[in-house]
Amino acid sequence: MRNLRTQEKIIATWNKKYQEPLVSICCITYNHESYIEDAIRGFLEQETEFPYEILIHDDASTDDTAKIIKDYELKYPNIIKAIYQIENQYSKGIRPSIFNYERAKGKYIALCEGDDYWTCDDKLRIQIQIHESNPDIKMSFHSAILVNEKTSFKREIGKYRNDSGIVPVDQIIQKKFGQIPTASTIIQKSAIDSFIDFEKSNKHLTVGDIYIHFFGAHPNGAFYLNASKSVYRVLTPGSWTETHNNSFSKRMGHLDSAINAFESLDNISNRIYSSSLKSAIEKRILSTAISPQIRINEKLDIFRKYKNRLSIKNKISLIIITLLPLDFIKKINDVRKKLLLNFKKIFMDS
């Protein structure tokens, strides 16, 4: 691990024409003592000619997360600006990210949660060059390496193209090529402001990334950088993924929240994305039902509650998911994929 530059050396590389930070790095954290240092070091290693600020919100961690942040804040007081909550805000129904968004001075917001981290010192520089050269694009992102903290399994996620270029709004809504990694995204502050207005009128929101991505991509699409420059950790102790995987009621609450929010997005966008939003709702229902943590009686509850929201094809899919063992479904899917690959090879060779 290389030594970090001092605050003075970092600031010395910034062009004095900037009166305010061009980028606000927004980081929310809670009980991330094993991870937060990786995140902070990734921020401080960024080599740019423009100024950036690091806004960290600690949501009353009960471990040493706040102490680690404070140690770095004392060394970089003109760059790192932290909030240390005494009471946990998330448990009160307050989204912690709002505390960073409201004080951000940057034209652009770079996102990274406390258990994720950036892996390249040119991430900010390259993505901001893209934004400054394409002012109509409000959001950029790249792929990331997903690391399962329980099993150490790794894979690439968020790869939307084989080259760098524009990803249309409909693909963002449907998550056509999977999850867009939070720590990969940079979004214009104006789009974040639109999301905040949306959130205020939709108090039921749970996870906010998909809605932030909608406002970042609408109407001109998002720019995909064909590179992997961050790590996304899942199933860290106390993380959203861990707590929701173990609670059916929380999964259902999240699903209801997503459905309501997608319907609200449909209304405010004059229904130009109706087909994609409907597809996204159906995909959420099926992905919830197919989770290995969901029991048969819970699958039946999902079917009864949401069957009228599904196309005939997806109703049949949900019935199959409900009645057949998950391992058997996976085997069928594997066979289907192999058959498709063989057909493609035959077609291409003919």
Task: Quick: pLDDT tens for 304-338.
Answer: 888 889 988 888 888 777 766 555 545 555 555 55
pLDDT digits (tens, 9 = 90+) for 225-264: 999 999 999 876 655 455 555 677 888 888 888 888 888 8
Check whether residue 49 and residue 106 sit in a common domain: yes
| % of the chain surpassing 90 pLDDT | 62
Q: 204, 221, 238 — which closes off a domain?
A: 221
In a domain, 291, yes or no: yes
**Radius of gyration of the CA atoms of the chain, in A:** 21
In a domain, 174, yes or no: yes
Check whether residue 45 and residue 133 sit in a common domain: yes
**CB contact at 8 A, 118 and 112:** yes
Q: Among all chains, which residue has been given the structure tokens 């994609």?
A: 276
pLDDT digits (tens, 9 = 90+) for 111-169: 999 999 999 999 999 999 999 999 999 999 999 999 988 888 899 999 999 999 999 99
Domain count, the chain: 2
Q: Among all chains, which residue has been given the structure tokens 């099926």?
A: 286
**Secondary structure of the chain: what % helix, strand, coil (to 5)?**
50, 15, 35
Q: Write down the pLDDT at residue 259.
A: 87
CA gap 193, 199 in Å, rounded: 10
For the segment 73-77, the average pLDDT, to the nearest whole number, is: 98
Check whether residue 16 and residue 126 sit in a common domain: yes
Question: Angle at Cα 14 formed by Cα 9 and Cα 16, nearest 5°?
Answer: 125
In a domain, 152, yes or no: no
Check whether residue 206 and residue 272 sit in a common domain: no
Minimal CA–CA distance to 80: which of 132, 2, 11, 183?
Answer: 11
In a domain, 348, yes or no: no
For the segment 100-106, the average pLDDT, to the nearest whole number, is: 97
In a domain, 42, yes or no: yes
What residue ranges in the chain does DSSP mark as E strands? 23-29, 52-58, 80-84, 108-111, 117-118, 139-148, 154-157, 165-167, 186-188, 222-234
Q: Write down the pLDDT at residue 240.
A: 46
Check whether residue 37 and residue 133 sit in a common domain: yes
Residue 70: give its domain's CATH number: 3.90.550.10
Where in the sequence is the domain holding 59, given as residue range(s)?
12-138+167-221
**CB contact at 8 A, 220 and 136:** yes
- Full-model pTM: 0.85
350 falls in which pLDDT band (50, 70, 90)? very low
Bond into 325 cis (ω within 30): no
**CB contact at 8 A, 206 and 253:** yes
